[in-house]
Chain A
Amino acid sequence: MNESPAITLDHVVKSYAAAGGTVVALDGVSLTFDAGTSVAVTGHSGCGKSTLLAVMGALEVPDSGRVRVAGQLLADMSASARARIRRADFGFIFQSDNLIPYLTAVENLAQQMALSGTAVDLSRCTEMLQRLGLSEHLHKLPDQLSGGQRQRVAMARALVHRPRYVLADEPTGSLDRASSLEAIEFLLAQQEETRATLVVVTHDPSVAARFATRVALSDGRIVAATTGHRPALNR
């Protein structure tokens, strides 16, 4: 297993102005995510999980501290270089699917490939959707799909360009328990196959339990970290 650091955070602080004053979302977080590993980040709503993911994915700039992706300091990179790695090297999954509503499932994937600078490969797009049980829905628009189906399309879109890092922010938040576990198994299987680095933010203990490595956040700080073997699937 390749265990060189993929993403490292070094004393990262990020705060926001809020109605009641300043909210410190990340309060001096230092973490290393090894290449080719899967990690769950847990914690209650507002503990800083989403901000952590946004900082790692170059969607937010920290107030202080350093973030490195594949050894490169994000702060040293130009805006266009950051945009390039965000599109090509990262795959993002959010709680809401964020599909382009006037593009079909296949077209949503194809656009992601184009955006990442990868040659558009429609057979790859189709195959990804088929693997997620969406063979009958390739040419449907998001509005014609159920919530669970839309989220599966969003997952396929995040993976179709073979990103090195997959960042998922409460990816199963809108799914029922069975669909949620199924979706996580798919993400983990994909991660094992591609050796991408997978980081999933979740408040759901049953989702977190599927990961060998878990990091718990509370009030912007790491309060626990567990590393072990991924538990066998037991439903």
Chain B
Amino acid sequence: MSLVAGLLRPDSGSILFRGTNIAELDDTACARLRSRHFGVVPQRGGLLPYLTAEENVAFAMNLAGVEARKREITAQLDELGVAHRSRHFPREMSGGEAVRVSVAMALASKPELILADEATGELDPATARETMDVIVKRSIDHGVTLLYVTHDVQMADKAERSFTLTDKELRAS
């Protein structure tokens, strides 16, 4: 995931995104690629604790150079089932709600690719499954490619294609 996101450089080989080799981009170009074309849903740390849900989404939009319109922010949170948390701070949300707000932030930049690294890894199994369903559905609705990493086989089954990484080798499941 770090290689795809341009956070790490491979020793050799290439990583193509729309014909551009990410492995050859400098840090600035990688940062631009991430903020403009990728949405990232991290396992933790995605929300600023002193901003409300809607302020966090507006923050992500500003970061991506997208105009932060109140109507769009509310619609985004509503689609993810967390509109009632718009004016709440992360400390007032459940883990599942916080992940949904992170997804709203990732979608806010209108990305072409969403990278989710064990995004539901810290949730209880039922909430994790429900949250992953929402992430998958929203990605399909927005026509965004979703690439997620999970250690949970049931989660992997929600994807159209899945791969297993064993002993540094990637195989189609």
Q: Please, which residues of chain A bring their CB within 8 A of the CB of B48? A: 98, 100
Which of the 9-residue segments B55-63, B138-146, B161-169 touches chain A? Answer: B55-63
- A54-89 interface (Cβ within 8 A of B): 54, 57, 59, 79, 83, 86-87
Does residue A177 face the partner (Cβ distance < 8 Å to B)? no
A79-B87, A101-B40 given; A107·B31 CB < 8 A: yes
- B79-119 interface (Cβ within 8 A of A): 87, 89, 91
Determine the distance from Cα of A139 to Cα of B91 in the docked complex, in whole angstroms: 29
Mask: chain A, 91-113; 1 = CB below 8 Å from B; 0 = not: 01010111111111001000100
What is the CB-to-nearest-CB distance from A37 to chain B, in angstroms, rounded to a whole number? 22
Q: Please, which residues of chain A bring their CB within 8 A of the CB of B62? A: 114
**Contacting A59 at CB < 8 Å: which of B7, B47, B50, B63?**
B50
Q: Please, which residues of chain A bring their CB within 8 A of the CB of B27? A: 104, 139
CB distance A90 to B50 under 8 Å? Answer: yes
Does residue B46 face the partner (Cβ distance < 8 Å to A)? yes
- Kindly name the residue among B5, B46, B48 whose own CB sees the greatest number of chain A CB atoms within 10 A: B48
What is the CB-to-nearest-CB distance from B63 to chain A, in angstroms, rounded to a whole number? 7
Determine the distance from Cα of A139 to Cα of B28 in the docked complex, in whole angstroms: 10
**Contacting A102 at CB < 8 Å: which of B42, B59, B91?**
B42
The SS class assigned to the B binding surface is loop
Does residue B19 face the partner (Cβ distance < 8 Å to A)? no
Using CB atoms, name the residue of chain A closest to B50: A92
Determine the distance from Cα of A114 to Cα of B46 in the docked complex, in whole angstroms: 18
Does residue B10 face the partner (Cβ distance < 8 Å to A)? no
Q: Please, which residues of chain B bring their CB within 8 A of the CB of A111? A: 59, 63
Does residue A142 face the partner (Cβ distance < 8 Å to B)? yes
CB distance A98 to B55 under 8 Å? Answer: no
Does residue B125 face the partner (Cβ distance < 8 Å to A)? no
Determine the distance from Cα of A101 to Cα of B2 in the docked complex, in whole angstroms: 11
Does residue A141 face the partner (Cβ distance < 8 Å to B)? yes
Does residue B45 face the partner (Cβ distance < 8 Å to A)? yes
How many residues of chain A get a CB closer than 8 Å to chain B's CBs?
27
Does residue A209 face the partner (Cβ distance < 8 Å to B)? no
Q: Please, which residues of chain A bring their CB within 8 A of the CB of B47? A: 98
Determine the distance from Cα of A87 to Cα of B42 in the docked complex, in whole angstroms: 23
Determine the distance from Cα of A87 to Cα of B48 in the docked complex, in whole angstroms: 11
**Contacting B55 at CB < 8 Å: which of A57, A83, A139?**
A83
CB distance A92 to B49 under 8 Å? Answer: yes
**Contacting A142 at CB < 8 Å: which of B45, B51, B89?**
B45
Does residue A145 face the partner (Cβ distance < 8 Å to B)? no
Determine the distance from Cα of A86 to Cα of B63 in the docked complex, in whole angstroms: 19
CB distance B5 to A102 under 8 Å? Answer: yes
A54-B91, A141-B7 given; A100·B50 CB < 8 A: no
Determine the distance from Cα of A100 to Cα of B39 in the docked complex, in whole angstroms: 13
Using CB atoms, name the residue of chain B closest to A142: B45
- Kindly name the residue among A79, A96, A114, A141 whose own CB sees the greatest number of chain B CB atoms within 10 A: A141
**Contacting B50 at CB < 8 Å: which of A86, A104, A114, A142?**
A86
Using CB atoms, name the residue of chain B closest to A111: B63
Query: Knowing that A102-B34, A115-B51 are A-B contacts, what are 20 other residue pairs whose CB atoms are under 8 Å apart, sorted by A's residue number?
Result: A59-B49, A59-B50, A83-B55, A86-B50, A87-B51, A90-B50, A92-B49, A97-B45, A98-B47, A98-B48, A98-B49, A99-B45, A100-B45, A100-B46, A101-B45, A102-B40, A111-B63, A114-B62, A141-B7, A142-B45
Residue pairs across A and B with Cβ atoms less than 8 A apart, 28 shown, are A59-B49, A59-B50, A83-B52, A86-B50, A87-B51, A92-B49, A94-B49, A96-B45, A97-B45, A98-B45, A98-B47, A98-B48, A98-B49, A100-B45, A100-B48, A101-B46, A102-B7, A102-B34, A103-B31, A103-B63, A104-B31, A107-B31, A114-B62, A115-B51, A115-B59, A139-B27, A142-B45, A143-B2
